[in-house]
């Protein structure tokens, strides 16, 4: 017996006054309605309706049971409507994870516009420079910059290429010279980002389209690109930095781009989220908004 269907049948019979009307409202025959009510009575071991050939009336037990089942069905309908509202528009809390530099320098520039578009959404942004477990740590979506995606059950939507540029300060170049070729970097102090896939191997795209990997070393390595940028501005050495970290310093002339004919392999920006048959509207809204922001850059 489908008890929920039987409850709905009983409610319709009582409210509409007949098995035939109840069947019409439910889209089934009156005989099915009658059978569902009898199965419910057999399940309960109690008679709910006193029947005659022309009419019926609730028994005392039936009246109590009808009131209880009406409240249950109303609560279920309210729950369905609440879920429907969540599915119709982004609400609740959206937990986002992003790398520290990207979150503070790049994401922070456009996240307020996203929040303004969806005022019923509460955004919880967590920035750090480690790979988090989205499911275990309760994140809805993560933004990641990488050249090679690891094997994962997560959905990964590519949003854009993220350029990596080679930079140094004018003062450093005056003291140590300007490299003309990637191989010249072996004679320079290179500042390495330790969370890169291969932090001490920089791969360049040569004019003929082939790649050239160069082993580098230096007196400073760090797990944050902001620290490496500061060191490069101070004249300590050459850094391979995400463009969004150094763009402003390049415009002001505090840093100079190097090896323009030999670009570094770019990273890609991905939005990553757990696989779900029904993607939550808040996640879809965020990923689609990010795709709008970066639509012209990927």
Domain ranges of the chain: 3-88, 92-160+268-293, 164-265
Q: Is 259 left (phi over 0), alpha (psi -120 to 50) or beta?
A: left
32-46, 48-62, 149-163, range with the lowest pLDDT: 48-62
Q: Max CA-CA distance within the chain?
A: 107
- Does residue 77 sit in helix, strand or coil? helix
Burial 119-155 (b: 16+ CB within 10 A, else e): eebeeebebebeeeebeeeebbbbbbbbeeeeeeebb
Instruction: Provide the CATH number for the domain formed by 3-88 in this structure.
Output: 1.10.10.10
pLDDT score, position 81: 65
Cβ–Cβ contacts within 10 Å for residue 7, how many?
A: 21
Name which residue leads in pLDDT, 150 or 30.
30
Q: What one-character DSSP code corresponds to residue 294? A: T
Q: Phi and psi (nearest 5°) for 181?
A: -135, 155
Neighbour-count burial of 235, counting CB atoms closer than 10 A to its CB (0-12 exposed, 13-18 middle, 19+ buried): middle
Domain 92-160+268-293 coded CATH 3.40.50.2300: no
Q: Is the model's pLDDT at 219 over the cut of 90?
A: yes
CATH of domain 164-265: 3.40.190.290
- Placement of tokens 């922001």 in the chain: 293
Examine domains 3-88 and 92-160+268-293 and report if their fold is the same.
no
pLDDT band at 296 (very low <50, low <70, confident <90, very high): very low
Give the confidence band of 278 by pLDDT, cuts at 50, 70, 90: low
**Rounded to the nearest 5 degrees, what angle is found at the Cα of 156, between the Cα atoms of 151 and 158?**
125
| pLDDT value for 135 | 81
Asked if residue 239 lies in contact with residue 232, where contact means CB atoms within 8 angstroms, the answer is yes
Residues 141, 271: contact at Cβ < 8 Å?
Answer: yes
Q: State how beta strands 164-168 and 141-146 pair.
A: unpaired
Q: What is the pLDDT of residues 160-198, one digit of tens each?
A: 999 999 999 999 999 999 999 999 999 999 999 998 888
At residue 298, the pLDDT reads 39
Does the pLDDT of residue 86 top 60, yes or no?
Answer: no
Q: In Å, how far are 40, 65, 156, 226, 275 from 249, measured between CA atoms?
A: 75, 74, 31, 12, 39
Task: Give the span between the Cα atoms of 178 and 249, in whole angstroms.
Answer: 18
Predicted TM-score (pTM) of the model is 0.67
Q: Are strands 141-146 and 92-98 parallel, antiparallel or unpaired?
A: parallel
Q: Mean pLDDT of all residues in the chain?
A: 89
65-84 pLDDT per residue, tens: 888 888 888 888 777 766 66
Using CA atoms, how far apart are residues 68 and 64, in angstroms rounded to an integer?
6
Q: Please give the pLDDT value at position 85.
A: 54
């Amino acid at each position: 017996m489908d008890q929920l269907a039987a409850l709905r049948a009983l409610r319709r019979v009582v409210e509409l006054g007949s098995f035939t009307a109840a069947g019409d409202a439910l889209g089934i025959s009156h005989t099915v309605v009658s059978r569902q009510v009898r199965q419910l009575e057999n399940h309960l071991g109690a008679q709910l309706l006193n029947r005659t050939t022309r009419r019926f009336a609730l028994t005392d037990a039936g009246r109590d049971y009808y009131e209880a089942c009406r409240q249950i069905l109303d609560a279920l309908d309210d729950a369905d409507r609440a879920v429907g509202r969540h599915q119709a528009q982004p609400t609740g809390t959206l937990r986002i994870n992003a790398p520290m530099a990207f979150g503070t320098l790049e994401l922070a520039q456009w996240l307020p516009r996203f929040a303004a578009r969806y005022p019923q959404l509460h955004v919880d942004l967590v920035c750090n420079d480690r790979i988090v477990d989205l499911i275990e740590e309760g994140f809805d979506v993560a933004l990641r910059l990488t050249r090679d995606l690891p094997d994962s059950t997560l959905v990964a939507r590519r949003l854009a290429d993220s350029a990596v540029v080679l930079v140094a300060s004018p003062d450093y170049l005056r003291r140590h010279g300007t490299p003309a070729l990637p191989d010249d970097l072996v004679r320079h102090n290179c500042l390495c980002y330790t969370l890169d896939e291969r932090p001490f191997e920089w791969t360049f795209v040569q004019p003929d389209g082939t790649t050239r990997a160069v082993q580098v070393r230096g007196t400073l390595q760090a797990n944050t690109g902001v620290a490496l940028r500061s060191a490069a501005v101070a004249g300590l050495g050459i850094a391979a930095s995400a463009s969004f970290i150094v763009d402003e310093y390049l415009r002001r002339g505090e840093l100079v781009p190097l090896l323009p004919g030999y670009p570094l392999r770019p990273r890609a920006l991905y939005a990553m989220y757990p696989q779900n048959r029904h993607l939550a509207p808040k996640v879809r809204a965020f990923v689609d908004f990010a795709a709008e922001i970066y639509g012209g850059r990927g």
